[in-house]
Amino acid sequence: MEDPFGAIVPKGSFLLRRKHPAYANEMYSVKNIFLTGFMGCGKTTVGRLLAARLRRTFIDTDQYISAAKGISIAEIFAVEGEAAFRTMEQQLLRELAAKEGMVIATGGKMLLDPAGVGLVEQNGIVVCLCAEPQEILRRVLQDGEDFRPLLVGENPLGRIKTLLKERHTAYAAFPQVATDGKEVEEVVKDVLSLIKRVESSTFYG
C-alpha cells in the first residue's frame, strides 16, 4: 500500500528542537502525539494548532477516513454501519502507529480498544481532552455540519452522559487536559506542559 503520509521524521531520532518562536528552546521527542477524548472536546481544533506550533504533520482520523471514502462519517454509518467504520479506524491506526513526528486527532472511540492503545503507546504519547456534557453538546450543535451519528435521537444530552459514563474507565487511563472555558492557545500550552512531564518521567524514571 502506498504510504499516504510520506517521510515525516527519520526513525530513531529521539529529540527535535522546535523552531516556532514560542518554543525555540523547547525539546520534544519525535513520538506521535495522539489526542483522544469524547466528541466535541476540541481534538481537531487543538490538534491543528498544536501541530502548527510543533511544525508537525496533522491528521484528523475522522476527516481522513471521510476523504478516503468520499462521503461523510454519518453517511458511512448509514450505508456501511458502525462496525465497518470501526474496522477502518483500526486499519488507519495501525498505519499511523508506524509513523513518527505527527499530531493525530482520533475518533472518540478509536482508543477504547486495549489492543489499539498498546499499538500507539509503543511510539506515541496519548493525551485525553475532556469537557462537561453541556459544553460538549453546545459545541456539537454549534458545529452544525453533520450531526454526530451516535447522538441522533430525542435526548442528545442524555446520550452524551451515558456514553461518557461507559467510556470513563478507558479515558481515565490517559493523562487528561480539560478544555472547558479555555481558549485554544491555553489548551495547547496545557497539552505541551503535560507532554513534557510525561516525557521527563519516562526518560528519567
| Domain of residue 187, CATH code | 3.40.50.300
Number of domains in the chain: 1
Residue 28 lies in a domain: no
Residue 53 lies in a domain: yes
The span from the CA of 51 to the CA of 153, in Å, is 35
Contact between 106 and 34 under an 8 Å Cβ cutoff? The reply is: yes
Name which of 177, 199, 152, 190 is nearest 36 in CA terms.
177
Q: What is the pLDDT of residue 26?
A: 58
Band (pLDDT 50/70/90 cuts) for residue 15 is very low
pTM for the full model? 0.82
Three-state secondary-structure class, residue 61 = helix
Q: What is the pLDDT of residue 121?
A: 86
Containing structural domain, residue 45: 34-204
Residue 24 lies in a domain: no
Q: What is the pLDDT of residue 27?
A: 56
The span from the CA of 102 to the CA of 134, in Å, is 31
Residue 27 lies in a domain: no
Name which of 59, 49, 163, 40 is nearest 105 in CA terms.
59
Contact between 105 and 65 under an 8 Å Cβ cutoff? The reply is: no
Tell me the per-residue pLDDT of 129-156, one tens digit each, with 9 for 90 and over.
999 999 999 988 887 655 566 676 678 8
Cα dist. 88→69, 73, 81, 83, 84 in Å?
Answer: 10, 11, 11, 9, 6
Residue 162 lies in a domain: yes
Q: Which amino acid is at 27?
A: M
* Whether pLDDT at 2 is above 60: no
Residue 1 lies in a domain: no
Residue 25 lies in a domain: no
Residue 68 lies in a domain: yes
Comparing 48 with 2, the larger pLDDT belongs to 48
Tell me the per-residue pLDDT of 66-108, one tens digit each, with 9 for 90 and over.
999 999 988 999 999 999 999 999 999 999 999 999 999 998 8
The span from the CA of 99 to the CA of 30, in Å, is 10
Mean confidence (pLDDT) of the chain? 83
